[in-house]
Amino acid sequence: MPCMKRPDEPRSTDPHDTTHFGFRDVPIAQKQKLVGQVFSSVAHNYDLMNDLMSFGIHRLWKRYFVGTSGVKRGDRVLDLAGGTGDIAALLQDRVGDSGSVVLGDINGEMLRVGRDRLTNRGLVRRLEYTQVNAEALPFPDQSFDLVTIAFGLRNVTDKQRALSEMHRVLKIGGRALVLEFSEVRNETLRKVYDLHSFHVLPRLGQLFAGDADSYQYLAESIRKHPPQESLRSMMQEAGFARCDYRNLTGGIVAIHSGHRV
Asked, for residue 200, whether it belongs to a domain, the answer is no
Residues sharing a CB contact under 8 Å with residue 14, sequence separation 6 or more, in sequence order: 28
pLDDT of residue 248: 97
Average pLDDT, the chain: 87
Q: Where are the alpha helices (DSSP H) in the chain?
A: 28-42, 46-54, 57-67, 86-95, 108-120, 159-169, 187-195, 201-204, 212-224, 228-237
Distance separating alpha carbons of residues 80 and 131, to the nearest angstrom: 10
Q: What is the pLDDT of residues 60-86, one digit of tens each?
A: 999 999 999 999 999 999 999 998 899
By residue range, what is the domain housing residue 247?
A: 18-183+226-259
Asked, for residue 109, whether it belongs to a domain, the answer is yes
Asked, for residue 153, whether it belongs to a domain, the answer is yes
Asked, for residue 30, whether it belongs to a domain, the answer is yes
Total domain count, the chain: 1
Asked, for residue 214, whether it belongs to a domain, the answer is no
pTM above 0.75, yes or no: yes
Residues sharing a CB contact under 8 Å with residue 243, sequence separation 6 or more, in sequence order: 232, 235, 236, 256, 257, 258
Asked, for residue 204, whether it belongs to a domain, the answer is no
Most confident stretch, 9-13, 78-82, 111-115: 78-82
pLDDT of residue 90: 95
Asked, for residue 68, whether it belongs to a domain, the answer is yes
pLDDT of residue 245: 98
Asked, for residue 124, whether it belongs to a domain, the answer is yes
* Cα dist from 58 to 62, 76, 153, whole Å: 6, 24, 16
CATH classification at residue 175:
3.40.50.150
